[in-house]
Amino acid sequence: MIVNLRKQLETFELAVDLEFGREITTIVGHSGAGKSTLLNCIAGMTSPDDGEIILDNQVFFHYKKRIQLPIRKRNVGYIFQENGLLPHLTVQENILFNHNHQLKDPHIDRLLNHLQVAQLLEQYPHQISGGEKQRVNLVRALAVKPDVLLLDEPFSSLDDENRLKGQNLLMELQMEWEIPFVMVTHSMEEAERTSERLIRINKGTVTFDSSNEE
């Protein structure tokens, strides 16, 4: 996936020229460094000021060609740091929202059991804990089998046991699907454990890329 873009933020410009392979890449940096904006540009939630974003042969964004592919056509899985569940829907309805899958799908069944969400299906978001909401978010994003998976602090609200389970599942799925996983985290321990590539961003600029150290 080619991500070559510029985006003016409040106090600096996010300017990156990166190519993501079929691996887990972790992006670290101080709060407000531009990490989440980068993910939002890939997902289509934020429009860059210039550049291009291309996954395989599909153009997500191209400034010169005036291409801005709608979010719904990008098949991007996105796990947000904050709770993104719809409050008026049950856990089951949230997971299947805009999906063509059924709960009996072996893939979804595996996610439900691995992340211990099966017992929450009939409950509403206000009835479950913050950690449980994040586990539901993980299931919902992974259920679609996306072409690229974006993760913004996906395990920050989980306890140690479920954080470890989530990390293990992430690594297993990446090996099976062989698609780009791009994760933002503040935990260097998590980055070193889960990812094959580490990128550091400071005020919109890439200051370190482990792929250049090899």
The rounded radius of gyration (Å) of the Cα atoms in the chain is 17
Read off the pLDDT of residues 152-198 as tens digits, 9 standing for 90 and up: 988 887 788 888 888 888 898 899 889 999 999 988 889 999 999 99
DSSP character at residue 4: E
CB 20 within 8 A of CB 1: yes
82 pLDDT more than 70: no
Read off the pLDDT of residues 38-59 as tens digits, 9 standing for 90 and up: 999 999 999 999 999 999 989 9
Confidence (pLDDT) at 127: 96
214 pLDDT more than 70: no
Confidence (pLDDT) at 202: 95
Burial class (CB in 10 A: 0-12, 13-18, 19+), 83: middle
Residue 105 pLDDT grade (very low, low, confident, very high; cuts 50, 70, 90) = confident
Phi and psi based region of residue 59 (left: phi greater than 0; alpha: psi -120 to 50; beta: remaining): beta
101 pLDDT more than 80: no
pTM: 0.86
Confidence (pLDDT) at 102: 60
Q: What average pLDDT does the segment 64-83 reach?
A: 88
- Domain definitions of the chain by residue range: 22-45+70-212
Architecture of domain 22-45+70-212: 3-Layer(aba) Sandwich (3.40)
User: Over pLDDT 90: what percentage of the chain?
Assistant: 58
E strands in the chain: 2-8, 13-19, 24-28, 50-55, 58-62, 67-68, 76-79, 148-152, 181-184, 197-202, 205-209
State the chain's mean pLDDT as an integer: 90
Which one has a higher pLDDT value, 206 or 157?
Answer: 206
